[in-house]
A and B are shown apart, each in its own frame.
Chain A
Amino acid sequence: GENVEQHPSTLSVQEGDSAVIKCTYSDSASNYFPWYKQELGKRPQLIIDIRSNVGEKKDQRIAVTLNKTAKHFSLHITETQPEDSAVYFCAASTGNQFYFGTGTSLTVIP
């Protein structure tokens, strides 16, 4: 089955700096890559996603890049704010099933 690895497990940045979280996957059949933000005690919320026919997608301060050849994808958050502090999960999907990374705890220091 699919194996998704996520790095780093923890990340601290100063407010206003950028944050990058990276994931790798193993199954070349995976074609959909969502990113979720989970605040303490709350449900995972989809923040951005990308499909395998696209190399990059941007939504305001958040962007995701995908390298199908290398089987890795990354989340980029620019101009970080304290409210960006949360755990972020990447996932890879073959079209029906989802495989999650282990999460990155992001702390934005005011």
Chain B
Amino acid sequence: EAGVAQSPRYKIIEKRQSVAFWCNPISGHATLYWYQQILGQGPKLLIQFQNNGVVDDSQLPKDRFSAERLKGVDSTLKIQPAKLEDSAVYLCASSSRLAGGGNEQFFGPGTRLTVL
């Protein structure tokens, strides 16, 4: 089966500019996650969708970050305006419910954002 797709793979912008990332999850996966991974750290959850509804966005900096998953499939994450500290890899992941509970999560290749 095809994996999680993300684009672009790399993006360089100047601070105060806007940027958008796109994610296409594994077919049939209802849950979609956006993570921020700063160099040398573990992934930090930004937002989690179940179908087209938001499950958790408690760590999303809502003054500058937004995300949507309008049709319950693809998702976009936007940063406006970007700050230097937003430089990171943005990982999208999707998961399916396992029999007996729990979810197995698969990651996309990520988008490496550099803010100058």
Given contacts A43-B109, A97-B45, A100-B43, contact A31 B55 (CB under 8 A): no
Write the chain A residue with the least CB distance to B44.
A100
Q: Are the C-beta atoms of A46 and B104 separated by less than 8 Å?
A: yes
Write the chain B residue with the least CB distance to A6.
B42
Q: Which of B42, B56, B98 contacts A101 (CB 8 A)?
A: B42
- Digitize A72-110: 1 where CB-to-B-CB distance is under 8 Å, 0 elsewhere: 000000000000000001000101111111110000000
Q: Which residues of B contact A22 (CB under 8 A)?
A: none
Q: How far is the CA of A44 from the CA of B103 in the complex (A)?
A: 16
Q: Which of B98, B105, B109 contacts A98 (CB 8 A)?
A: B105
Q: Are the C-beta atoms of A44 and B43 separated by less than 8 Å?
A: yes
**Separation in Å of the B93 CB from the closest CB of chain A?**
8
**Separation in Å of the B96 CB from the closest CB of chain A?**
12
The count of residues in chain B whose C-beta lies closer than 8 Å to any C-beta of chain A is 25
A7 within 8 A of B: no
Q: Which of A31, A46, A100 contacts B101 (CB 8 A)?
A: A31
Q: Which of B42, B108, B110 contacts A89 (CB 8 A)?
A: B42
B21 within 8 A of A: no
Q: Which residues of A contact B108 (CB under 8 A)?
A: 43
Q: How far is the CA of A36 from the CA of B107 in the complex (A)?
A: 10
Q: Are the C-beta atoms of A97 and B41 separated by less than 8 Å?
A: no
Q: How far is the CA of A99 from the CA of B35 in the complex (A)?
A: 11
Most chain A Cβ neighbours within 10 Å, of B42, B101, B104: B42
List A residues at the B interface (Cβ < 8 Å): 6, 31-32, 34, 36, 42-46, 49, 51, 53, 89, 93, 95-103
List B residues at the A interface (Cβ < 8 Å): 31, 33, 40-45, 48, 50, 55-56, 91, 98, 100-110
Q: List 25 A-B contacts (CB under 8 A).
A: A6-B42, A32-B98, A43-B91, A43-B108, A43-B109, A43-B110, A44-B91, A45-B107, A46-B104, A46-B105, A46-B106, A49-B102, A51-B100, A51-B102, A95-B102, A95-B103, A96-B31, A96-B50, A96-B103, A98-B33, A98-B105, A100-B43, A102-B41, A102-B42, A103-B41
